[in-house]
Amino acid sequence: MDIAARLTQETRECLERITSLSWDVHAAAIRRRSPRPAGDTYGFSDDGVYFDVGDSAEWLDKPEGDILLKAFVVAFPQPSDDEGIREEQSAILKRPDTRISN
């Protein structure tokens, strides 16, 4: 197994999943989890390698503004590895413009 390629694939897919959700969905999760970042994690094994997949969402600069989304995957090729091999990707979800134009 090409662990680096699998890390990239899993991280990209995780980021695609979280960026498909609306600003409102992420904002509600951030408010519920405050002061901790919102997010989720899960793990799976493939071909003897354990993968820890996670995401987080937090306010970028100020509450109720833009949201910083992060997706990360850590691979543990050896059960004794404490650090693992990590890949992270991020995106900024802009707050929708809610102004009413005349």
Measured distance CA(93)–CA(27) in Å, rounded: 10
- Supply the pLDDT for residue 69: 98
- Supply the pLDDT for residue 83: 87
* pTM, two decimal places: 0.88
Per-residue pLDDT of the chain (102 residues; tens, 9 = 90+): 899 999 999 999 999 999 999 999 999 999 999 989 899 999 999 999 999 999 999 999 999 999 999 999 999 998 777 889 999 999 999 999 876 665
Measured distance CA(83)–CA(52) in Å, rounded: 12
Q: Fill in the amino acid letter for 41.
A: T
- Supply the pLDDT for residue 97: 83
Q: How many CA atoms lie within 13 A of 51 on its CB side?
A: 20
- Supply the pLDDT for residue 99: 64
